[in-house]
Amino acid sequence: MKRYRKLIIAVAVIAFGFGVITAADLFREIATNLRIYNKVVEHLITEYVDEINSEELIRASIKGMLRDLDPYTVYIQEDDQMEVGMLTRGKYGGVGIRLGVRGDTLTVIAPMEDTPAYRAGIRPGDKIIKIDHESALELRTDAAAQKIRGKPGTEVILTIYRYGEIEPFDIALVREEIKIKDLPYYGINNGIGYIRVSRFSRDTAKEFRAAAAELQQQGIEGLVVDLRDNPGGLLQDAVVMVDALVEPGLGIVETRGRTKKATRKYASENEPVLDLETPLVVLVNQGSASASEIVSGAIQDLDRGVIIGERTFGKGLVQSIFQVGKNTSLKATTAKYYIPSGRLIQKEDYLENGVLTDGLDKTDSLFVTRNGRVVKGGGGITPDIEMESPVLTPLASRLFSRSLYFAFAALHQNSYDLSVPVVITDEIMEDFRAFLEQKKVEVSFPGEKELEAFEANLEKLDSFDGKVDLSELKAYYERRSKTAFVDEHDQIRRLLRLEFASIVGGFGQRIQSALKDDPAYLRAVEILHSPLAYKETLQPEGQTAHKN
């Protein structure tokens, strides 16, 4: 009790309205509310018409207490503790989905690379509305993760709602042992170094420093750090990664909380591994979150490199774990991330009820980088060069969601004389078309579902006389269905190439193959090969960069 008393006293003087709440006031308020809570529990346990399990009642009340806070403050029960332990060892049975909550709905932040979820075509932004046909609308991230994880070889069915689709659809996934690789690939192409970072764990920074040093020794002209679909991880490793790219003595990130322990500034301390004259590009997208946003945000604020891609996820909350029972813990948000310009990474989409704020976390303001460039607040990191991720065409997307590229490549991996770099021949494409005809793939095109609904509603009207002619529209969709494979030939060929590249050369080869026609990566290479364009991107508006 003394330990909790000290903690409360440390934060007990809180400005509120026209007065202050002192330590004594706070203790009295807590004691009063706890007495009320105990009385409610006592009456329910002893007098409620049906017998109540006291343990389940307390658990439910704790979860209710946390529900209106943020998505990351959760009560961790015994089963979840085991899952956390498995994750710290780097492997677990699951499908490889990084989850978050957006708009009160369970949302895919990103599928982990080379996992069942990734191969099935699950995308960032997909809404998971059911797990094994049971509603997931009320589930928090930890509870959902527990349902999705399980013994390798077993199946889980996810019901997905995807933006642009009219109806939700099911995806059946077979769980595997998930082993997460922090740096799945790094290498050099045409003088430009490339490092893919998939998450931030205990060894990420060490591996990154070694990879960057190796590439630097090989004389690279520039470096691309790919943080797309990276959900984050350990704060310390994000700090050390930035430390490897900038000079000593620069602020990298600050955590601000209500306690002294939760408030801390992190700065670069060591000589950089990458030469400061070596130009740098960081790739991000909507799946880049937390530690990824610390790295990309610090690089942007310090004008060390150019950020290319989509606005990032906006997860800037720090969690701490407190043991509250023998086999239970509380994972609570204890601080927020602020990057060098003073921007708050977290989006203002949480903490609406029962919370006192000081009004200082305004995210709609403009901020200034080290060079004087104006950058946007509002949560997340807005790239210097914004590029939307390519959108899959209807048939290509449907084949991806049904894992048919993967299925065909796995079935025919020994049928063709393939080597790296993989080339998909016309023969392979024709074989794939025949394979799809056997699968009887159904695909809906934009507007087709609405047309069917419109026709159905017309037929229900008493005044309908059959004179509305929809034949031309129907014929249009029939033609699109028949020509879809030819119309979407390039996208289908590319996705098939990536699956065969994985089989022939491993996941690193898949990444290399994907980069060949990756618009964001090609734009990064273009910038890195143009010193003037690179410098101009990092100059404040109205200033002109000059060649040295």
Strand partners, 368: 374
**Cβ atoms of 290 and 316 closer than 8 Å:** yes
Map tokens 């809906």 to a residue: 444
Token couple for 84: 């956390």
Chain centroid offset of residue 365 CA: 25
Residue 367 is which amino acid? F
Phi-psi region of 67 (alpha: psi -120 to 50; beta: other; left: phi over 0): alpha
Write down the residue that tokens 């600050």 correspond to: 254
DSSP 233: B
Is 481 an annotated catalytic residue?
no
Q: Is the dihedral of CA 212, 215, 221, 223 positive or negative?
A: negative
Look at residues 120, 182, 132, 124 and name the one whose alpha carbon lies nearest to residue 157: 132
| Residue 460, token pair as written in the block | 């229900």
513 is catalytic: no
Count Cβ atoms within 10 A of the Cβ of residue 72 and give its class: 0-12 exposed, 13-18 middle, 19 or more buried: buried
- Whether 360 contacts 327, CB under 8 Å: no
- CA distance linking residue 140 with residue 72, whole number of Å: 9
Six-digit token string for 246: 């900038």
290 closest CA partner among 72, 24, 37, 65? 72
Which residue in 127, 181, 315, 331 is the catalytic one?
A: 315
Catalytic residue among 237, 301, 384, 518: 301
Residue 41 burial class via C-beta count within 10 angstroms: exposed 0-12, middle 13-18, buried 19 and up: middle
Q: What tokens were used for 9?
A: 């006293």
Nearest by Cα to 124 from 224, 195, 200, 228: 228
Within 10 angstroms of residue 414's Cβ, the number of other Cβ atoms is 8
Tokens of 496: 């098939």
278 DSSP assignment: S
Q: β-pairing, 105-111 with 385-386?
A: unpaired
The catalytically annotated residue of 198, 290, 292, 403 is 290
Answer yes or no: 290 catalytic: yes
Is 70 in contact with 317 (CB distance < 8 Å)?
yes
Which of these, 171, 161, 177, lies nearest to 115 by C-alpha position?
A: 177
What are the residue numbers of the active site? 290, 301, 315
